[in-house]
Structure 1
Amino acid sequence: MSAESLRHSEWQRRSLVGLFGLAVLAPAFGWAASKTGYAEPMENAAEAVGAASAPTTASILSGYTLPGAGPHVGTFGAALLGTTLTLGLAVGFARLLAKTE
């Protein structure tokens, strides 16, 4: 099965719709996490070993939101940006690997 044969298949359309749907739901997940007091497991582990106060590197998607945007719009934007970047890299690597075969 070549990369060309998968270009416009039904499963790709369904996958993109599913990814977009999850990105649309990201603000709801963020809201629910804030209401339930959810904390990231790595943050909990860092607190347990005393590393939580160590300086961290700032990133553009720090806190899973875009700087300057509201909490819901920022979460949605970060979800779209992260999904697009990850999907783009995966497709790019797949095309590179397909050319070498």
Structure 2
Amino acid sequence: MYTSVSGTAGDKDLPWVASGSLKASMHTVNGQLMLGVRTECAPLSGLATITGSTLTAKDIVTGASGCTDVNAGEHHLWVTDFLKRPIEMTLSQGTLTWKSGADSLSFQSE
């Protein structure tokens, strides 16, 4: 399990990501790679593939949960949109970084 430590949307820092609000994991289920990301509102999951250093998720679904905070809802939608794009992954000094276009998320192992 990885916990978020920083994030950017373009050149703008995302302080809500730095607070550890995202949890990410990958598991194999029946030979299929599954990606799971927990936001402040709900879990997201979907099938995933890794080709080289590129993570691609598909058929992303939101679990049965929710939130009443408008900002948290917007954060959830931002993460959902981020996961729909190909993500370049790097691991350096214990920090896992996902980059997609001008946006990025960084995580550290729990």
| TM-score class, shorter | under 0.3
TM-score, normalised to structure 2's length? Answer: 0.25
Decide which structure has greater strand share.
2
Higher RCO structure, 1 or 2 (CA under 8 Å, sep 6+): 1
Q: Which of the two has higher C-alpha Rg?
A: 1
TM-score, normalised to structure 1's length? Answer: 0.26
